[in-house]
Amino acid sequence: MPTNFTVVPVDDGRKSSQEHSDDNNVLKEEDEETIGDGNPRESSPFINNADDDKGTLYDGKNMALFEEEMDSNPMVSSLLNKLANYTNLTQGVREHEEADEDEGAKKQTVKSPQMGTFIGVYLPCLQNILGVILFLRMTWIVGTAGILESFIIVSMCCSCTMLTAISMSAIATNGVVPAGGSYYMISRSLGPEFGGAVGLCFYLGTTFAGAMYILGTIEIFLTYIVPSAAIFKAEEKAEEADALLNNMRVYGTCCLTLMALVVFVGVKYVNKLALVFLACVVLSILAIYAGVIKTIFESPVFPVCLLGNRTLQNHGFDKCMKTEIIDNVTVTTKLWSLFCKGPELNASCNEYFTINNVTEIQGIPGLTSGVISENMWGSYGPAGMLVEKAMPSVPASDSSQDKLMPYVVNDITAFFTLLVGIYFPSVTGIMAGSNRSGDLRDAQRSIPIGTILAIATTTIIYLSCVVMFGACIEGVLLRDKFGDSVKGNLVIGTLSWPSPWVIVIGSFFSCCGAGLQSLTGAPRLLQAIARDGIVPFLEVFGHGKANGEPTWALLLTAVICESGILIASLDAVAPILSMFFLMCYLFVNLACALQTLLRTPNWRPRFRYYHWTLSFLGMSLCLALMFISSWYYALVAMLIAGCIYKYIEYRGAEKEWGDGIRGLSLNAARYALIRLEEAPPHTKNWRPQLLVLLNLDSELSVKHPRLLSFTTQLKAGKGLTIVGSVLEGTFLSRESDAKRAEQSIKSAMAAEKTKGFCHVVVSSNLRDGFSHLIQSAGLGGMKHNSVLMAWPASWRQSSDPQSWKNFIETVRETTAAHQALLVAKNVDSFPHQERLAEGTIDVWWIVHDGGLLMLLPFLLQQHKVWRKCKMRIFTVAQLDDNSIQMKKDLQMFLYHLRLNAEVEVVEMHDSDISAFTYEKTLVMEQRSQMLKQMHLSRTEREREAQLIHDRNTASHAALNDKADVSPERVHMTWTKDKFCTERNRNREPSANMAVRDLFSMKPEWESLNQSNVRCMHTAIKLNEVVANKSQGAHLVLLNMPGPPKNRGGDENYMEFLEVLMEGLNRVLLVRGGGREVITIYS
């Protein structure tokens, strides 16, 4: 239930406390103090409670060493002082008079709860457990199932609640349980998902219990108190059942409306009348025991009339005989007219009536009569079966008219499992004590003792009632559910002393009180769930009147309760609420077993008499009883709980309550990680476990959020994703920035629907930070095997060469760590969530490095964004290769890999290195050399690079104007328009001039590094082929060449990659991790 926590100060007499302002004297919490998500938070006097003693300063010298930490770590004396005076109070019911008096003023002190075990736990549990089923159905269950099977039913149900009480006692004594009872215990032990699901099931159970109690109240009223008040009356016997149900619906709805108004206007009256209702229950039970004892000496007179062996309804006659002699004249009785067509002795009569005699037996033969042996075994049967005594009779040839005769019959089909479902609500109510935990003087002592004693008491009462009913009451009367054979008396009332009316009136008020208690408790339970904020659509029910009364929750409770009343049958409603209560008890046992098995450090219950085997046995018994009672109701209840669980998991607010499910997850994760580390994954289990390296801007926002989108598309929520970033500086100085950066990345991940972990590292420089991430990200066997990063597009314009040097070092370190590397160029142009139209994903398979190139398109095609794209695989054939055979082999290889792709083999014959290649290499080397030798400012560097570029462009254009040069040997990777412009602008009329310029530059060409020339040639030729074939592809995947071993050529390596990707839009450079990641084997 919703709670307000108030910490009450104790005047310790120290002067220092008086010197502070009044604001610091009393530690208060507003009625709805909230944290960031707007949900009420739990008050705590413990460490890091920033709201308490905010302005307190420490003036002593003995603890000067710790004075700077006093705000977050209070002195032990201060902590203990708060703990000693920490109390939790139920929200309770503020009476309207008090609300008016205290309006606008906050109470400064509260009265400490003083309820003990007997008043606070034992009696409320007794009142909630003993109820309508005992008075209205217990005798019928004993008569139908027999003493032995009834004993089994009662034993199973009571064992279930006793085992649950043991588990509940362990949970309730494991720290302070604020008012809220079972819901609080389950939610804090099993987490918000289970807590919300089971809490709502418990709410539904309590609500349907209200419906059951109201139906019981109306049944007592219409059947035993004022039968003439019925609105719908049956003209024929076949219509009696329908008439009764319609009367129950009408009167039940009126009763529900009246009770809801009472709860709305003043719950204080309900609480004040609780003891009166309890007194009615106790007096009724005492009357039963007194009646049983009295039968030893004198049995009450309640005759039952039998025709043959059939029980008759004793409504329309007063004498159990066919004829009687009055003044020496034989006349027929009223019974005769019920079976015959007239009062005459020669009238036509029912055949069975004619051939069988009427006998009268005692309905309550007494404890010493020996009837117990007859009632030992069950007597199940279908609806409409006649209630018969085990004695000889003459059967009739025609039984078609029996249903119209005034016999006592079964109103429903009875079988063992149905009786379990109907009986179980009579043992519920064990949570009543824990629900009042805020009112108890010592909850951790009172709850276990009071609850277990109450269950033990009620178990003894129920078991003794089974034996007493079977030993005292005739079997046919026991099976007479509504007491028709004893003139409509309540069967259990016929046994009581001094009068049946003691039980009738007592059970009537008991059912009224239980119904009011249910309508009072259920809305508060719903309000507690709503205020926890775990089920978003229920938040409206967290609001109420000014005095805290849950108005909207009461309205919803009344609507759900009305649906139970419209069912109108007590026997149909009882199994429904049995399901919800059994599910609640199941999870209480699960919570205890889980906490015990996990050995959570905080699991230290004061109640020592528990064991995980008992909790597991209780959980198993609950599950068994659910399916025994009604397998389809059990499945529906589980489906409802499962839907609520998934809804809370999907939409609910995230809560960290230190629950057992989280502990179970940690244990399972630890076990799985240890198992994973035993051996590397098999090729069949390999999938890219990504470390995504993000760059942040000056505002700590993600520069390339599309990198996260691409991660989501590649992973589809499977496997491991670690998103990392690095901040420059020291951790001490940038701790807050690191947290902000982490939140920024998490927000971006949520926006891009990327599931994974975030890791921000603060390092003295970016290179070391990324190196640390590559080395240490992940845990055990759950480490990344691939690194994804964006291509540094502005590396040429950067004033700091460290930007591209960091990139190259990252490439080297992933290679050294045997990790795959994915580099995305133009990542901001990658698709977000929009689905791509039909197109291609082109794979350029130049060298084999494990098959990652072919696996990545397949993984992308699993996502809706890339689903319509087809895969094309290109490979390059040299002069000596048989391109036709290569294509066939590749197609066969893809067939065995189960990959659908178009295959194309591109021939790249050896050709002379073009003049443009030499010029491109020359520009690259001169620029690189100049930047190394001259420490120029950024502006001077750009100007110098431009001069070199302009000078060589002119010479290059002149060379390309030479008409005799074969076009197959001279290729430019510039765009076509740029090439034409340069050529026309610098065209020389004389071919001899071009030849002279060509020969004049040869000395410069000869001085070039031939390795660089060959690399540039490869980059240009490959780029030319790729651009020709894949210009319109949605994505191009290329083998990424490795960086040079000589670090002096790092800048040249960046140039080679730039030339390789020139003119392509979306490119993913892929570098394998040195192991096979795809296999043809199953």
Q: b/e per residue, 596-629, with b = 16+ CB within 10 A?
A: bbbebeebebebeebebebbbbbbebbbebbebb
pLDDT, tens only, 547-596: 777 888 899 999 999 999 999 888 889 999 899 899 989 988 988 898 88
**Higher per-residue pLDDT: 149 or 179:** 149
Q: b/e per residue, 448-474, with b = 16+ CB within 10 A?
A: bbbbbbbbeebbebbeebbbbbbbbbb
SS3 label, residue 701: coil
The pLDDT value given to residue 53: 45
Average pLDDT, the chain: 77
User: Token digits for 386?
Assistant: 């006649």
Q: Round to whole Å and give the CA distance between 187 and 286.
A: 39
Per-residue pLDDT band for 419 (boundaries 50, 70, 90) equals very high
The pLDDT value given to residue 846: 81
Q: Is residue 464 over pLDDT 90?
A: yes
The pLDDT value given to residue 181: 63
Q: Round to whole Å and give the CA distance between 509 and 924.
A: 99
Which residues make beta-bridge pairs with 121? none
Q: Is residue 192 over pLDDT 90?
A: no
Per-residue pLDDT band for 340 (boundaries 50, 70, 90) equals confident
- Out of 447-451, 533-537, 616-620, 980-984, pick the least confident: 980-984
Q: Is residue 238 over pLDDT 80?
A: no
Per-residue pLDDT band for 338 (boundaries 50, 70, 90) equals confident
Per-residue pLDDT band for 1063 (boundaries 50, 70, 90) equals confident
The pLDDT value given to residue 256: 94
Rounded mean pLDDT of 214-219?
A: 92
Rounded mean pLDDT of 954-982?
A: 41
Q: Round to whole Å and give the CA distance between 657 and 189.
A: 8
**Higher per-residue pLDDT: 989 or 720:** 720
- Out of 293-302, 867-876, 948-957, pick the least confident: 948-957
- Out of 51-60, 169-178, 478-487, 1069-1078, pick the least confident: 51-60
The pLDDT value given to residue 78: 55
pLDDT, tens only, 880-919: 777 888 888 888 888 887 788 888 888 776 655 555 555 5
What's the Cα-to-Cα distance from 600 to each of 49, 234, 658, 786, rounded to whole Å? 24, 63, 10, 36
**Higher per-residue pLDDT: 926 or 628:** 628
Q: Which of 272, 190, 874 is nearest to 516 (CA)?
A: 272
pLDDT, tens only, 94-146: 333 344 444 444 444 445 556 788 888 888 888 888 888 999 999 999 999 99
The pLDDT value given to residue 998: 40
What's the Cα-to-Cα distance from 793 to each of 23, 186, 272, 430, 914, rounded to whole Å? 58, 54, 77, 69, 27
pLDDT, tens only, 657-706: 655 566 667 777 777 777 776 666 667 667 788 999 998 888 888 988 88
The pLDDT value given to residue 530: 86
In the chain, what percentage of residues exceed pLDDT 70?
A: 75
Per-residue pLDDT band for 979 (boundaries 50, 70, 90) equals very low
What's the Cα-to-Cα distance from 984 to each of 200, 973, 977, rounded to whole Å? 81, 17, 11
Rounded mean pLDDT of 186-214?
A: 83
The pLDDT value given to residue 56: 45
Per-residue pLDDT band for 288 (boundaries 50, 70, 90) equals very high
Q: Is residue 526 over pLDDT 50?
A: yes
In the chain, what percentage of residues exceed pLDDT 90?
A: 20
The pLDDT value given to residue 23: 41
The pLDDT value given to residue 319: 85
If you count DSSP H runs as helices and E runs as strands, how many of each does the chain have, helices first? Answer: 38, 17
Q: Round to whole Å and give the CA distance between 876 and 888.
A: 14
The pLDDT value given to residue 470: 93
Dihedral sign (CA 623, 627, 630, 636): positive
- Out of 125-139, 148-162, 453-467, pick the least confident: 125-139
The pLDDT value given to residue 343: 84
Q: Which amino acid is at 140?
A: W
SS3 label, residue 978: helix
- Out of 631-640, 765-774, 842-851, 945-954, pick the least confident: 945-954
The pLDDT value given to residue 555: 92
809-813: list long-range contacts, CB under 8 Å, 24+ apart.
809/767, 809/770, 809/771, 810/693, 810/767, 810/770, 810/771, 810/774, 811/1040, 811/1042, 811/1043, 811/1071, 812/1043, 813/770, 813/771, 813/774, 813/775
The pLDDT value given to residue 165: 93
The pLDDT value given to residue 626: 93
> Is residue 269 within a helix (H) or strand (E), and if so which, with residue range?
helix 267-272
**Higher per-residue pLDDT: 163 or 1005:** 163
Which residues make beta-bridge pairs with 361? 304
The pLDDT value given to residue 68: 47
Per-residue pLDDT band for 438 (boundaries 50, 70, 90) equals low
Q: b/e per residue, 543-581, with b = 16+ CB within 10 A?
A: ebeebbbbebbbebbbebbbebbebbebbbbbbbbbbbb
**Higher per-residue pLDDT: 269 or 344:** 344
SS3 label, residue 663: helix
Most confident of 62-76, 475-489, 871-885, 996-1010: 475-489
